[in-house]
Amino acid sequence: MNFSLDPSEQSRRSFLESVAKTAFGVSILPVVDSMLSSPAAAAQMVQSGKAEHVICLFMNGAMSHIDSFDPKPGRDAGGETAAIQTSVPGIKIGEHLPVLASKMNELAIIRSMTTETGAHEQGRYLMRTSQKMIGSIRHPFMGSWLTYFEGKKNRDLPGSVIVGGGSRHPGAGYLSATMAPAPVANPATGLQNTKPPKYLTEEHFERRRRLIAQFESGFRKKYPTTEVQAYSDYYAEAVRLLKSPDLEAFDIKKETQAVRDTYGNHRIGQGCLLARRLVEKGVRFVEVEQGGWDNHNDLYGTFPSKAGELDQAIGALLDDLKASGLIKKTLIVLTTEFGRTPKINANAGRDHHPGCFSSFLAGAGVSGGQVIGSTDEDGKTVEDEHCYPADFNATIAYGLGLPLSKEIFSPNGRPFKVAHEGDPFKHVFGEA
Amino acid sequence: MTRLATIGILTVAFMFMNPVEAQRRGNAGGQSKGKKMPASKVPKGSGRVDWGPVAKVSPGRLGSVRAKAKQVDQLLESGYRQHGVTPNRGLSDTLFLRRVYLEIGGRIPTLEEISKFRSTKNSQKREKLIDQLLSSTDHVSHMYNYWADLLRLKDNPINNNQIAQPYHEYIKDSLRTNKPYDQWVHEMMTAEGRIWDNPAVGFVMRDSNMELDAVDNMVQVFLGTQIGCAQCHDHPFDRWTQKEYYEMAAFWYPVRTRANVGDKKKFTNGNPLQRVRAEMKKIDPDANTNGLFARVVNANLFEVWDQKNRPLKLPHDYQYENAKPNQRVQMKPIFGTKIEVSANDRPRDVLAKWMTSPKNPRFAKNVANRMWKKAFGVGLIEPVDDIQDTSDCSNPEVLDLLTKTLIENDFNVRELQRIIFNTRAWQRESSFENVDLSKPYYFPGPVLRRMTSEQIWDSLLTVAVYHPESFTRPSLKSIGELLDMDLNSVSAKDVQKISEEYQEKYSSGAERKLTRERNYYKGLVLARASELPSPLPPEHFLRQFGQSDRELIQTSGRDGSVSQILTMFNGEITHMMLERGSLIFDTIVQAQTLKARTDVIFYSILSRAPSSGERRVAEKEIRATGVQGFGHVTWALINTKEFLFIQ
């Protein structure tokens, strides 16, 4: 790798500069401003960006493609799941997703997803970052890339939020902590501990904050590591958030019970509702996780109800976004870490199958009503249009108008691209 | 000071909050002396821990520990010279004290412990403290958290019928008695029976019905190698082939974790649950035979046994030249040569013997590397769970020495840790430049790390609660006395009785009731992290700060987040500290002068005295805001990064 051969030396320098700026406590906005105004950005391959937000539904545990978006009726591999007709002639999906079937004209399903690993953690990492998980570096997920390139829309709220997040999410990776997602463990309770105890007046809270700064100045000077700095950034962000009137975006109880019921009284439903509220207030990227898809045992004992929850939640989300018009600016994406075996195992479950799986995109710019790629008769291997995690991320990035070919340098000087070497599936957006 | 002196201690007792709030709570700060205060809501603990005695490190071994620690240092120093590394400065007593409590005991020291160490003049006081801590219940608790993360301990791993807590208690016992590591692993790999008869079966049960994954997991935990990729195809980045994976897994394939209810010889009276259900319906057609009624029967069906003749076959779509699809594989371990498995052998006994043998090139080395990483923050080989033949080791001589010593000491892991903690290298300041993990680290000292979630939680309890260690989890050791049934003869009436008694004594509801009475504060169970249910809900403090959900091996994290900061700002535990009845509150009140009170706050939270500048700031604050200032200073120190990071 030769840094001096191309304009990337320039971007390397500007990256290091921006790292230096954030590392010395300059707030995020000037950095982002400088990036937006930099002519380097314009020189890169820039697409007509359509989306400004992403709601990414991540199915933790590896959702069976055969029982969801790629049914195989009449084959042993198809298991107990029947295929149902969708609103688009000629396209059928699994019977457990009737609402999505009725909205097929809004979805672009990719049935030719394929990945390299059948290990959960590695698979998720690859899906989220387009990169292999290795010990020596951590790569940013798409939400942090979006904040990096586009800045925050709402200065007071986090650039991205992960709902239901488990630990070990790659988060901002090597980017600054100001671009890290904020985790919300439980959508029903929202962001916790946002109210100070009643006895603590605003004035006293400020006194306390000043004291922190005074008591830790020595420590911060002695240990200027990114980890320590990251905590300072989180402090600043937490304080901004606490003072913001938009804080209530995190509280789904502000919605009527009827609205909450429409999304469903379960984690994925409440998660989608929270995602909608956050996007309305300018959060760029919301990832909502739903667990419980690792169906090694008794798949048909749990899958239908899980899928039913998902179906209800996405249905309500799409309807609301359409009603408010936000759908024109918001990409809705569903994915998982890999697929499940065509063969039903001895425990009436399906095991890990990285060979193929399904995802979908909807919303901003997406040309709905299409199925991209296909698998063989048993859902075992991809037959055409292989879509690797990097391609999938490139497709999202393309939809957002992010510069795919731009090289960004990590603090240790290694060049990276937003979706690695992935190629966007432009036909998702109806382009050739 | 003058202003403070005029405020009586009684007043102080209510006023870390503002006076209006204190009044609202009916505490009326500054009331006449005679009035009785309502009892504090902060639970205290008895000061006793109802575990058995913790095995002590041997005083007789001190000489050899010193010698080995010195050898390690010499090897590291030659590494420094070779790679042009300047070692960090030696750690002051103050920083040593805090680090040693956190890294061996899993929490910061109490005021008493600090003052005891400070007043000891003995030149061997560091060695003595290391020994004392390694022999403490704190250490058992801390190591349990470590292993819980590695072994993915869950109270109900597969479903609610499966009870795993006796296994978790067995792990605590193994750590408490410092059971030789090879013996411990061997016991877990070979255990059979129901969990209350032999709690070590919990290890096999954790991966119930997932024989192939179980092998992948145990290789990662005990050998530091990942062969999982080879479950489906030849490993792309390491040398394992799919065939080798299957040969290794063949040892484990005969292990079963559930009784076969279709076995007519064993279940002479038919399917036990069906039988008692039918019987119950005859007695009372409306009786509920689901829920606990079924669960107590099903709990008896979880048992570990070995099925004779359960050969493993390659998958039907096996794609390589070296064997055919569906072909039976011979048992063969992933390292070393083939071992004979005779017809009388239980295959997993053979595997366990091979695994835990001193001749296994990775077994001892893996745990030595893991313990090193635990102490220094970086392993001698990284990543610790993906060791390959070609992996670089930053100082192979050190790892060899530790490995050899561990084997010579009959796998006494605590003695190994004792050597590590006694090295000069470990007692150096932590590295405070960004450590680049893509390059080898030569250990000029440990690396600066944020505390683990458990260390933060246990440290907050240490500051706030008198005896958090005595709130131990109710034991399920005797659960077998109630639950164990002869499934052929048990009557429906018996099952009903058992389920009622289970509900009353052992259910999660019963546990909640007990902890509510004992150690509850505004929705928080104030017990050490090792004494809480697992996994905790995602919104729990421990999960927020990175405790894993116990689904995957060692997935705990140390990253920050906005929600952590909010919890530190506004969470219950931070504010409990500012209430009467909390340890730090009471101690501040008991101190006589402003200077002494400021010292109490700094020592309790940061384990050190305030600098003169900090003292000025703190005293100024207290003078300006009166006694509420104590609350401000306490809260602010808890919220510093110095509190969260281990220097």
* pLDDT tens digit sequence for B406-441: 999 999 999 999 999 999 999 999 997 767 777 899
A132: amino acid identity, one letter:
K
As a whole number of angstroms, the distance between CA A79 and CA A83 comes to 11
As a whole number of angstroms, the distance between CA A21 and CA A25 comes to 7
Cβ separation A228–B617 shorter than 8 A: no
* Residue A54 or residue A409, greater confidence: A54
User: Contact, A384 vs A372, CB < 8 A?
Assistant: no
The answer to whether the pTM exceeds 0.90 is: no
Instruction: State the burial class of residue A11 (Cβ atoms within 10 Å of its Cβ: 0-12, 13-18, 19+).
Output: buried
What one-character-per-residue DSSP string does B52-103 give? -PPPPPPGGGHHHHHHHHHHHHHHHHHHHHHHTPPPPPBPPHHHHHHHHIII
Residue B559, pLDDT score: 87
Q: Band of the pLDDT at A39, cuts 50, 70, 90?
A: very low
Tens digits of residue pLDDT in A303-345? 999 999 999 999 999 999 999 999 999 999 999 999 999 999 8
Q: Band of the pLDDT at B14, cuts 50, 70, 90?
A: very low
As a whole number of angstroms, the distance between CA A99 and CA A103 comes to 6
Tell me how close the Cα of A274 comes to any Cα of chain B, in angstroms.
Answer: 16
Cβ separation B569–A117 shorter than 8 A: no
Q: Band of the pLDDT at B17, cuts 50, 70, 90?
A: low
Tens digits of residue pLDDT in B26-83? 443 334 445 566 778 888 888 888 889 999 999 999 999 999 999 999 999 999 999 9
Say how many C-beta atoms besides its own lie within 10 A of residue A164's C-beta.
Answer: 22
Return the closest-CA partner of residue B225 out of B92, B340, B386, B108: B386
Q: Is the pLDDT of residue B338 over 90?
A: no
For residue A118, give the nearest of B232, B549, B560 by CB distance.
B232
**What are residue A183's phi and psi, to 5 degrees?**
-85, 140
User: Contact, B375 vs B416, CB < 8 A?
Assistant: no
As a whole number of angstroms, the distance between CA A303 and CA A295 comes to 8
Six-digit token pair at A370? Answer: 């299409």
* Residue B626 or residue B188, greater confidence: B188
Angle subtended at Cα A76 by Cα A70 and Cα A82, rounded to the nearest 5 degrees? 50
Suggest the residue from A167, A169, A347 to mutate for an interface test with chain B (most B CBs closer than 10 A): A167
User: Contact, B180 vs B411, CB < 8 A?
Assistant: yes
Return the closest-CA partner of residue B329 out of B239, B439, B241: B241
Return the closest-CA partner of residue B147 out of B554, B420, B537: B554
SS (H, E, C) chain A: CCHHHCCHHHHHHHHHHHHHHHHCCCCHHHHHHHHHHCHHHHHCCCCCCCCCEEEEEEECCCCCCCCCCCCCCCCHHHCCCCEEECCCCCCEEECCCHHHHHCHHHEEEEEEECCCCCCHHHHHHHHHHCCCCECCECCCCHHHHHHHHHCCCCCCCCCEEEECCCCCCCCCCCCCHHHCCEEECCCCCCCCCCCCCCCCCHHHHHHHHHHHHHHHHHHHHHCCCHHHHHHHHHHHHHHHHHHCHHHHHHCHHHCCHHHHHHHCCCHHHHHHHHHHHHHHCCCCEEEEEECCCCCCCCHHHHHHHHHHHHHHHHHHHHHHHHHHCHHHCEEEEEEECCEECCCCCCCCCCCEECCCEEEEEEECCCCCCEEECEECCCCCCEEECCECHHHHHHHHHHHHCCCCCCCEECCCCCEECCCCCCCCCHHHHCCC
Instruction: State the burial class of residue B406 (Cβ atoms within 10 Å of its Cβ: 0-12, 13-18, 19+).
Output: buried
Q: Is the pLDDT of residue B452 over 70?
A: yes
As a whole number of angstroms, the distance between CA B122 and CA A247 comes to 56
The residue whose two tokens read 């049914």 is: A71
Residue B35, pLDDT score: 57
User: Contact, A130 vs A122, CB < 8 A?
Assistant: no
For residue A137, give the nearest of B438, B551, B647 by CB distance.
B438
Return the closest-CA partner of residue A257 out of A249, A242, A245, A269: A269
Six-digit token pair at A325? Answer: 């018009």
CA-CA distances (angstroms) from residue B537 to B398, B521, B547?
A: 41, 17, 10
Tens digits of residue pLDDT in B580-611? 999 999 999 999 999 999 999 999 999 999 99
Cβ separation A189–B539 shorter than 8 A: yes
Suggest the residue from B548, B556, B562 to mutate for an interface test with chain A (most A CBs closer than 10 A): B562
As a whole number of angstroms, the distance between CA B522 and CA B500 comes to 29
Residue B36, pLDDT score: 64
Q: Is the pLDDT of residue B353 over 50?
A: yes
Backbone region of residue B495 per phi and psi (left: phi > 0; alpha: psi in -120 to 50; beta: other values): alpha
Tens digits of residue pLDDT in B265-324? 999 999 999 999 999 999 999 988 888 999 999 999 999 999 998 999 998 888 899 999
SS (H, E, C) B372-440: HHHHHCCCCECCCCCCCCCCCECCHHHHHHHHHHHHHCCCCHHHHHHHHHCCCCCCECCECCCCCCCCC
Residue B374, pLDDT score: 98
Chain B residues near residue A238 by CB distance under 8 angstroms = 562, 565-566, 569
Six-digit token pair at A28? Answer: 């995020």
Greatest C-alpha distance within chain B: 92
Residue B252, pLDDT score: 96
**What are residue B90's phi and psi, to 5 degrees?**
-65, 150
DSSP letter, residue B315: -
**DSSP-derived pairing of the beta strands A160-163 and A182-184:** parallel
Cβ separation A223–B386 shorter than 8 A: no
Chain B residues near residue A223 by CB distance under 8 angstroms = 432, 448, 641, 645, 647
Tens digits of residue pLDDT in A106-158? 999 999 999 988 888 889 999 999 998 876 678 999 999 999 999 999 989 99
Six-digit token pair at B74? Answer: 């010499």
* Residue B233 or residue B510, greater confidence: B510
B298: amino acid identity, one letter:
N
As a whole number of angstroms, the distance between CA B525 and CA A78 comes to 47
Say how many C-beta atoms besides its own lie within 10 A of residue A29's C-beta.
Answer: 12
> Which chain B residue has its CA at the smallest distance from A118's CA?
B229
Say how many C-beta atoms besides its own lie within 10 A of residue B633's C-beta.
Answer: 29
Tell me how close the Cα of B422 comes to any Cα of chain A, in angstroms.
Answer: 25
* Residue A12 or residue A239, greater confidence: A239
Q: What is the mean pLDDT of chain A?
A: 87
Residue A196, pLDDT score: 84
Q: Is the pLDDT of residue A28 over 80?
A: no
As a whole number of angstroms, the distance between CA A255 and CA A265 comes to 13
Chain B residues near residue A212 by CB distance under 8 angstroms = 636, 639-640
For residue B432, give the nearest of A136, A199, A222 by CB distance.
A222
Average pLDDT over residues A9-31: 34
Q: Is the pLDDT of residue A40 over 70?
A: no
**What are residue A320's phi and psi, to 5 degrees?**
-65, -45
Six-digit token pair at A362? Answer: 């909807």
Cβ separation B565–A165 shorter than 8 A: no
Angle subtended at Cα B377 by Cα B371 and Cα B381, rounded to the nearest 5 degrees? 65
Q: Is the pLDDT of residue A25 over 70?
A: no
Distance of CA A302 to the CA centre of its chain: 25
Tell me how close the Cα of A68 comes to any Cα of chain B, in angstroms.
Answer: 23
Tell me how close the Cα of A405 comes to any Cα of chain B, in angstroms.
Answer: 25
Q: Is the pLDDT of residue B518 over 90?
A: no
B316: amino acid identity, one letter:
H
Q: Per mean pLDDT, which range of A252-256, A383-387, B10-14, B456-460 is the poorest? A: B10-14
Greatest C-alpha distance within chain A: 71
**ipTM for this model:** 0.88
User: Contact, A214 vs A57, CB < 8 A?
Assistant: no
Cβ separation A136–B438 shorter than 8 A: yes
Tens digits of residue pLDDT in A53-99? 999 999 999 999 999 999 999 999 999 999 999 999 999 999 999 99
> Which chain B residue has its CA at the smallest distance from A210's CA?
B636
Q: What is the CA radius of gyration of chain A?
A: 22
